[in-house]
Amino acid sequence: MVLHGSFSEGFFAEYSEPSTDDHDMNRRINLDNVVKEIADILDEKHGEDIVILDVSKVSNLSDYFVVATANSDPHMGALREAILEYIEKETVEIIYYDKGKGYDWLVIDGGYFIVHIFSKKGREFYSLEDLWLNAKRYTYRDLVADEDNTRQ
């Protein structure tokens, strides 16, 4: 797979739908930055197997799924809290997020993006990526290949 441009300028800008409403256009551009930052946060906090699915062409649920694996229940909570802290700072509206502990799958629903944080067992069992085979799939490593941040 070949991506043109950097992560922040590349595939997100390429797949954004044109809009005649300036407010909607600005929201989309900011949203793309939010999705990128969420992936960066998951990487910084050592989330594993980070994948972004562009489901905009195959689903009306959302435009992007951000999927990651946590290595423990406390790690899952830490990933969720780091993302929620960022989203609150950016004043992005959240529709729903799982607040409990002990899950194999946590969701943060931002409307146009949904973050899925799995335990290793949960990710294997639910196999979310296999349900969305027609979506464009980007691993975090693919997306930052042109940048120095390639921890994974």
CATH of the domain at 49: 3.30.460.10
For residue 75, give the 3-state DSSP assignment.
helix
Is the residue at 33 inside a domain? yes
* pLDDT tens-place string over residues 5-45: 333 343 343 333 333 444 444 443 334 788 989 999 999 99
pTM over 0.85: no
| Higher per-residue confidence, 5 vs 119 | 119
* 128: Cβ contacts below 8 Å, ≥ 6 apart: 65, 67, 116, 118
Is the residue at 152 inside a domain? no
Please state, rounded to an integer, the average pLDDT across all residues of the chain. 79
27 vs 37: CA distance, rounded Å = 15
48 vs 67: CA distance, rounded Å = 9
Is the residue at 109 inside a domain? yes
Number of domains in the chain: 1
75 vs 97: CA distance, rounded Å = 16
Is the residue at 5 inside a domain? no
Is the residue at 150 inside a domain? no
109 vs 63: CA distance, rounded Å = 11
Is the residue at 62 inside a domain? yes
Is the residue at 6 inside a domain? no
| Higher per-residue confidence, 97 vs 142 | 97
End-to-end CA distance of the chain: give it in Å, rounded: 17
Extract the tokens encoding 96: 């729903």
133 vs 115: CA distance, rounded Å = 17
| Higher per-residue confidence, 85 vs 1 | 85
Is the residue at 65 inside a domain? yes
Q: What is the pLDDT of residue 147?
A: 53
* pLDDT tens-place string over residues 85-106: 999 998 888 999 999 999 999 9
Contact 49, 123 (CB under 8 A): yes
Give the helix/strand (H/E) hosting 11. Answer: helix 11-15
Q: What is the pLDDT of residue 2?
A: 32
Q: Which domain holds residue 78?
A: 11-143
